Structure formats: C-alpha cells, structure tokens
Structure 1
Amino acid sequence: MLKKWAIIGFGTSMIGIGINGFILPFHLINGGFFGVSLLANYLWDLNPGIIFILLNIPVYLFAIKYEPNFFIDGLIGAIVSGVMIQFWLPLGGVFHMPILSSIILGAIIIGIGVGVMLRNHISPGGIDLLALIISKWSKVNVGLIALTIDGMIIISGLLLLKDPKFLYSLVIVTIIGLLISIITSIRKIDISKIK
C-alpha cells in the first residue's frame, strides 16, 4: 500500500509540474477528455468542467463493473492528479524557455509520471483509464492506445479550429505516448533469480 501511494505521489507530482511549469503557460491543450472538453468549449461555448465530468462518467461506470481494481486506483489517481495540478499551479510562468523546448521538457516530465503510474496499473483517470482497460483486454501496449486516442483528439482540434498552435499539442501527446510505451514495456527484473 505504501508503494502504491509513493507511485501515485510521484506520478501525479510529475504531471502537475509538467502541466503547470511547461505546458499551460503557452495555452496549449493536451489529449484526453480535458482536450475534448476544451474543443467543445471552443466550438460550442460549452462549460469544459461539466463536459469533462460527463465524459468521465461512462468510463468509470464501465470500470466499476468490469475492472473494479482499475476503478478504485483510477479514482484515487484522478483525485490526487487534480490536487497536484492545483498544488503546482504557482510554477506557471516560473520557467522562461522557448515554446518548443518548454513543451518537449513538459511532455517528458508528464510522460514519466503517467508512464510510472500506468506501469503499476494506476491511472490518472479519463482516457488513461480507458486505455488501461483496452490494453488489458487487447494486449496492445497502453502507451500506443493512449497515443492513438490523444492524436485523434489533437488532429480533430486542428481540423475543426484550424489553429496551427495545435501542432505543438501533437508534439506533446506524441512524446507522452512514446514515453508511456517505453516505460510500460520495460520488463521487470526478478531480483530473487539474480545470483
């Protein structure tokens, strides 16, 4: 249990630092349900907070019925992620870097945080929880699933809003997805078998 909380604390802190310190200062979106919520706001002036909650409900209902452990860990991960994003909010504007350098560093930090959590079957919630469930059933790497979903969200935003800034968001989700794939693919070493 202590290991699980340490992983959640580390992973969500990395997410909070990456988002607040390096991504949000440039007003970019990432993938996931948060990205969909922002698109709905830009297109139809819908409340992004309400849309985010509505999008998450079916995933959590599905998880509680078919993958109860994923549901509990995902709920904890989502709540702690929200708290950590708020906690690290003062980092906004602290780092002064060119946009490309900032988003690459931010995406690496976020990717490590999410990757470590997903490797231990703990999700920050939303799309990551859905990707974790699909990965368990399909045996496809969770990072590849997350990258595919997030890529479709960003490309949709680019096509619908015709804002070139969304290309930077595509870089963010690509780096995060690749890091998740790498981290979740590394084989665990059984120390007991090492002589």
Structure 2
Amino acid sequence: MYFVKKSIVIVIGSILISLGINLFLVPYKVLDGGIIGIGLILNYLWGLKAGLTIIVLSIPIFIIAWVSYRDYFYNSLHGMIISSLFIDFLKTNDSLFLINPVYSSILGGVLVGSGIGLMLRFRTSTGGTDLIAQFLCDKTGINVGILIFFIDSFVILLGGILLSTDTLFLSVITIMFVALTTSLFTRNVVQA
C-alpha cells in the first residue's frame, strides 16, 4: 500500500512542479534553482528541452548517490525521471495565465515548492540539488527547505547574470516561495 501511495505522490508532485514551471515561470523567463534552474537557463538561452537537460545534468549526482547513498538513489531516480518528463510533456507555447510577473513568480514558487515538499514527505525527490540538500539535511539536521534555498540562490544569481535583472528579481521571489512552501511540507517529517 505504501508503494502505491508513494507512486501517486510522485505523479502529483511532478505535475505540480511542471505546472508551476510551465504556466507561471516560463512565460516570464523566471528560474527555479538547482538542476531545474540550470535546465531552464539552457532552455531560455539555447532552446534545449528543460526536462531532458535535467536528466542529463542529474547523471553525476545519481552516480554519487549510487556509490554513497543508495537509499536516496532508489528513492529519487523515479521522481527525477517522472518530473522531468512532465516538464517537457506539459510544456506549452502559450500561457493560460498571463498575470502580473510578480504574482506569477509567487504562484510558480508555491506550486513547485508544493510538489517538492510533497515528494520529500515520502522520502523521494526530484534528485538534482534537492537530492544534495536531502543528503546535507540528514547529516546536519538543517531543514531541507533552507538548504535548497541557498543552493537555488547560487543558480538564480548565475541566471540573472546570463539573462536579465528582471529574471534575477522574479527568480528571487520564486525561490523564496519554493523554500517556504517546501519547509511547510517538510517541517514535521522525522528524519531517519
């Protein structure tokens, strides 16, 4: 029963992440952090498929997980693959919700953070830097949402330099809401 519940959570979390990215972040070239953010930077600059790029960039992290954190490898591989496929599958050329870019960044951050947080509650993730943050959380006891926030900050600073100051500003708003929402979902999770 737990396996079925976890599988449903991975699908729902992946859909939330994909909707947040495709409906609210992409129309304004806003970034999430981590590997997803790097995938979005490459999408905005060169038109590469964000989901496929996320899979390719996650390979070194999953090799490390296979060697050192096999439990995380098994618990995150399917989350990374499914969320990446949903990001590319649900991509749209037109935004259904053209709203103020600040509100769009907030809504995108809440959806992405909800998807990540929901998955982390079931000891799975999208891999990438979320997986690194989970490793660090287990070792240090620092809330995973806060660790993700610091990693994401680096990625959006890079994106702001490569893309625009608007991207940087809106992305800061997004990762604040991703971190806040993720923290809310994971605050009562007992670390094993």
TM band (smaller chain): 0.7 to 0.9
Equivalent residue, structure 1, for 2:58: 56
| TM-aligned CA deviation for residue 59 of structure 1 | 1.3
Residue in 2 aligned with 1:193?
none
Name which of 10, 19, 22 aligns with 1:20: 22
TM-score by length of 1: 0.83
- The residue that corresponds to 2:34 in the other structure is 32
Cα distance, 1:73 vs structure 2? 2.0
**1:1-195 residue pairs with structure 2 within 5 A?**
1-36=3-38, 52=54, 55-90=57-92, 92-159=94-161, 163-186=165-188
Any unmatched runs of 5+ in structure 2?
none
Q: Deviations over 1:46-67 (max 9, x none)?
A: x787975564232111111222
Give the CA deviation at 1:38: 5.5
Contact 1:17 1:91 in 2 (8 A): no
Distance across 1 between alignment mates of 2:23 and 2:35: 21
Measured at CA, do residues 71 and 22 of structure 1 come closer, stay the same or move farther in structure 2, by a change above 3 Å?
A: same
- The RMSD of aligned alpha carbons is 2.7
Q: Where in structure 1 are there 5+ consecutive unaligned residues?
A: 189-195
Residues 60 and 71 in structure 1, CA contact (< 8 A), matched pair in contact too: yes
Tell me if structure 2 keeps the 8 A contact 1:24–1:92. Answer: no
Distance 1:107 1:41, change over 3 A: closer
* Structure with bigger gyration radius: 1
Distance 1:20 1:57, change over 3 A: same
- Runs of 4+ in structure 1 over 6 Å off: 40-43, 47-51
Gap change, CA 1:38 and 1:62, over 3 Å in 2: same
8 Å CA contact retained: 1:119, 1:184 = yes
Q: Determine the C-alpha separation between the residues in 2 that align with 1:157 and 1:96.
A: 22
Deviation at 1:42, TM superposition (A): 8.2
